[in-house]
């Protein structure tokens, strides 16, 4: 065991952890921040991306001791209370969330991009996301969401959502309807099988 001191989402944490711990394991098992998902465990899919001193890292292979004295931001730390980060709200508005498992990784990678590029081009976005995979959403809506969030960051109105007008309030044919638990998916609160913890679990 070794003592580590880090700042996670603005909170200073001092804790003894096994020296073999990865950052993803530390966040999920020790701190209960299950918004950071684990996919390949080989730094190939980008699902586990978090920011360490503002730099995106694959937390599934990043040794926790390397984070000593550093600031870590996870998907749970982006929103300000009930106010979603522009990336989170635009991922919802532009239909860039489906199953949601890879959404935290996409959003955290995008957050780092917008820190460096306030007006990213499509190519900038594609390059930033080249190692962050999503199998069910499709990247067109993700690119639109990021560009829209970038506009908000520059004080401009977000991009309009392409959504046909309908006469009947309950008519959902041909219009976008937010998926269930979509806010939970963009904030890291959504639970998947490996996120549940019960008393007495081994």
Examine residue 7 and state whether it is found in any structural domain, yes or no.
Answer: yes
- The Cα–Cα gap between 16 and 168 comes to 58
61 and 105 share one domain: no
What is the pLDDT averaged over residues 178-193? 92
The sign of the dihedral angle between the CA atoms of 119, 121, 122, 127 is negative
What is the pLDDT averaged over residues 166-178? 61
What's the domain count of the chain?
2
Domain coverage including residue 6: 2-76
Examine residue 194 and state whether it is found in any structural domain, yes or no.
Answer: no
97 and 158 share one domain: yes
Contacts made by residues 137-141, CB under 8 angstroms, sequence distance 24+:
137/95, 137/96, 137/97, 137/98, 137/102, 141/94, 141/95, 141/96
- Domain-terminating residue out of 23, 56, 76: 76
pLDDT band at 179 (very low <50, low <70, confident <90, very high): confident
132 and 181 share one domain: yes
The residue among 165 and 83 whose pLDDT is bigger is: 83
The answer, yes or no, to whether residue 118 has pLDDT greater than 80, is yes
Please state the pTM of the whole predicted model. 0.91
The answer, yes or no, to whether residue 175 has pLDDT greater than 70, is no
pLDDT of 134-163, one tens digit each? 988 888 999 999 999 999 999 999 998 865
- Domain-terminating residue out of 30, 53, 76: 76
- Label residues 53-87 b or e (16+ Cβ within 10 Å = b): eeebbbbbebebeebeebbbbbbbbbbeeeebbbb
Which parts of 18-146 are beta strand (E)? 49-52, 55-58, 71-73
């Amino acid at each position: 065991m070794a003592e580590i001191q880090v700042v996670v989402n603005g909170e200073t944490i001092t804790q003894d952890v096994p020296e073999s711990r990865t950052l993803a394991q530390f966040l999920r098992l020790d701190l209960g921040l299950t918004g950071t998902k684990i996919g390949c465990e080989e730094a190939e899919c980008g699902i586990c991306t978090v920011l360490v001193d503002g730099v995106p890292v694959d937390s599934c292979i990043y040794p926790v001791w390397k984070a000593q004295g550093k600031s870590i931001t996870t998907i749970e730390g982006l929103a300000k209370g009930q106010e979603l980060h522009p990336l989170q709200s635009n991922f919802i508005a532009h239909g860039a969330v489906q199953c949601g498992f890879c959404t935290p990784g996409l959003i955290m990678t995008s957050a780092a991009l917008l820190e460096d590029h306030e007006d990213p081009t499509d190519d900038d976005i594609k390059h930033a996301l080249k190692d962050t995979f999503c199998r069910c959403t499709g990247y067109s809506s993700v690119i639109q969401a990021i560009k829209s969030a970038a506009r908000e960051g520059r004080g401009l109105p977000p991009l309009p959502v392409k959504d046909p007008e309908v006469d009947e309030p309950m008519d959902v044919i041909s219009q976008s309807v937010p998926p269930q638990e979509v806010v939970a998916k963009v904030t890291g609160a959504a639970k998947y099988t490996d996120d549940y913890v019960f008393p007495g679990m081994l």
